[in-house]
Amino acid sequence: MAFNDELESRVVKVNNLLEGVLKIDTGLAEPLMEVMRYSVFSPGKRLRPIIMEETAALFDRDAKELPYFMAALELIHSYSLVHDDMPCIDNDEFRRGRKTTHAEYGEDMALLAGDGLLNFAYETAVAAFNDTQDPELVARSIQVLTRKAGIFGMVGGQSVDVRSARKGSGLSEKELLYMHKKKTGALIEAAMMIGGILGGATRDEIEDLKAAARNIGLAFQIRDDILDSDADVNNYVTVYGLEKAQADVSSYSADALNIINSFGRKNPFLTDLIESLINRDR
């Protein structure tokens, strides 16, 4: 099967998983759940849950808890986009050709939908305790999920971006790297680390996965900066120059792929997916 066909089949699988998770009777809160569903089913590539599942496939354990965490991670990603798009942050009215949540339902319901998605993500992850014979692995996975989503991860990175925009002074090199590692990279780290934990990786192997994910996140975001280069925006290209940006994409991606290919079991689809993310042209 061609790579694009394989990717599409995995996207469909994640969408089906999310539909099942979000098909729940919420009573008088159903109008809020409708907004949450709208937010989740905005067009997307479902990269993080796919990366999680494909990382688990590098190892030998039957990770039946995986769907809970795949869904939870995508719910967290969706909530972050809802809040990012709001007038107090990016003030975007369209995302991928469709109205953003606040533009469609209002700021009040968008804010609540984001809050609802984040909390429902944790409810979904915790439900894995009901379907496991190894609660320690579930607990470790929850610890990773919560840390990478919060102030030590994605939210912390976003705060640097928001403060920089408020100051109007641009980002220092230290702030820029921190933001890229946290805002973009933290959920990729969560995907690969949880995939490794539930797949049966050793603690040393999970540290290797964390390093690979950090490199993927940096390469992915630098590639974004190259594609969206704007002289008036303080990003990797304006700080370091196009030549270094392109070289660093190659270096970070090579390091990540070397780590992933060092494991005994190979996963060509995962390496193809990573290469497609890093080498994309839009």
pLDDT digits (tens, 9 = 90+) for 169-201: 678 889 999 999 999 899 999 999 999 999 999
Q: Which residues contact 276 (CB under 8 A, 6 or more apart)?
A: 3, 7
Q: Whole-structure pTM over 0.85, yes or no? A: yes
Within 13 Å and on the Cβ side, how many CA atoms surround 45? 12
Closest by CA to 30, choosing from 122, 112, 102, 85, is 112
Q: Counting every residue, how long is the chain? A: 282
Domain holding 168, by residue range, is 3-278
pLDDT at res. 280:
85
pLDDT tier for residue 166 given thresholds of 50, 70 and 90: confident
How many domains are contained in the chain?
A: 1
The two tokens of residue 81 are 């986009």
Per the prediction, the chain carries an average pLDDT of 94
The two tokens of residue 96 are 């991928």
In this predicted structure, the answer to whether residue 229 has a pLDDT above a threshold of 80 is no
Q: Cα 269–274–279 angle (5° rounding)?
A: 125
Closest by CA to 78, choosing from 43, 26, 27, is 43
Maximum separation of any 2 CA atoms in the chain, in Å = 56
CATH number, residue 183: 1.10.600.10
pLDDT at res. 231:
57
* Residue 73: Cβ within 10 Å count: 27
The number of helices, as runs of H, and strands, as runs of E, in the chain is 14, 2
Which segments of 17-133 are extended strands (E)? 94-95, 98-99
